[in-house]
Amino acid sequence: MNYRHAYHAGNFADCMKHALLVWLLSAMARKSAPFFVLDTHAGTGHYDLDAVPATRTQEASGGILRLLAAAANDDGPLAAYIALVRRLGLYPGSPSLIEAMLRPDDRLACCELHPDDFLALRQLVARNPAISVHRRDAWEALRGLLPPPQKRGLILIDPPFEDAEEFDNLAKGLILGHARFRTGVFAAWYPIKRLAQVRQFLTAMRDSGVRDIVAASILLREPLDPARLNGCGLLVVNPPFQFEAAAAAILTDLLAAIGTGEPGQGVAIDRLVDE
C-alpha cells in the first residue's frame, strides 16, 4: 500500500467529494430516524496542510486554499462545506466531516487498511462512542457491515485507485453492497484520467441491474493526458431527493472558484439509471 492521502488532502478532488458528502449527510438528516454511515476507505481523519506531505505536492493550493480565498462562495451552495472546513481547523477528511454531522443516535463505521493511518484515525476519534474504526478491507466490509441495524444508511466508497483493477473493484463493491442493502445511499468516488476507463465503469453500472443511479462529475480540462487527474466523479445510488439540482449547483460554484479556464472544463450530472 503506497497511497497516502496526506499528499493529496484538500485538492480539488477532495473539495468535490467532501462538498457533495456534506450535502448527502444533510439530506440524510432530513428524517429524524437515526442513520448509519460506512466510510470504507477512511484515511487518517484530518490533515495538516502546513506539514510536509501536503506542502511537497501543493495540491491543496489548487483546491481548498483557493476555494477559501474565494469568499464569494461563503453563502452559496458550498457554504455548509466551507463553514465545516473553517470550524474543524486542520483539513477534515471524510471521517471528521461525517463526525461533525452525526446526531446523537447516528453511527459511523470507518475502515482503513494502512496500519499507521488506521492508528491515527483510531486515536483521533477514540473519545466518540458513536464511531468504530476497523482495520478491515473495504470490499470485505461491504459484505460484513451491511445491512446496518438502523435500516437507513450512507456508504462512502473512496478507493485510492493505485492499480488498474480499482474500477472493477468499485463496480463489484457497489453491486455487492447494494445487494446487501438495497435502500442504502451509496456514494462512490472515481478519478477521471482517461475517459475510456470511466465510460467502461459507468456502462458496467448502467448494465448492473442496480436502479436509481446518478453520476456527478467535474472536469478541470479535456482529459487528453491520462497521466493527470483531469477531473473526478461521484456515482450515487439511491440519491436523496433533489440531489441532481444540488450537485449541479455545488459543482458549478466549485468550478467557478477553482477552475483555471482550461479548454474542456465543465460539470456534468448524468442520470445513468432511473428509479
Ligand X SMILES: C[S@@+](CC[C@H](N)C(=O)[O-])C[C@H]1O[C@@H](n2cnc3c(N)ncnc32)[C@H](O)[C@@H]1O
Which residues participate in catalysis according to the annotation? Answer: 158
What DSSP assignment string belongs to 147-210?
S-TTS-EEEEE-----STTHHHHHHHHHHHHHHH-TT-EEEEEEEESSHHHHHHHHHHHHTSS-
To the nearest whole angstrom, how small is the minimum distance from the Cβ of residue 104 to ligand X? 24
CB-nearer residue toward ligand X: 21 or 220: 21
CB-nearer residue toward ligand X: 7 or 68: 7
Quick one: residue 47, left, alpha or beta (phi over 0 = left, psi -120 to 50 = alpha)? beta
To the nearest whole angstrom, how small is the minimum distance from the Cβ of residue 96 to ligand X? 8
d(CA 207, CA 188) in angstroms, rounded, equals 17
CB-nearer residue toward ligand X: 135 or 152: 135
CB-nearer residue toward ligand X: 1 or 71: 1
To the nearest whole angstrom, how small is the minimum distance from the Cβ of residue 149 to ligand X? 22
Residue 234 main-chain phi, psi, to 5 deg:
-125, 115
Q: Which residue is nearest to ligand X (CB)?
A: 93
* Contacting positions for ligand X (CB under 6 A): 1, 3, 5, 17, 41-43, 93-94, 111-114, 117, 137-138, 158, 160
- Bridge partners, residue 189, by sequence: 234
To the nearest whole angstrom, how small is the minimum distance from the Cβ of residue 261 to ligand X? 27
- Bridge partners, residue 39, by sequence: 110, 156
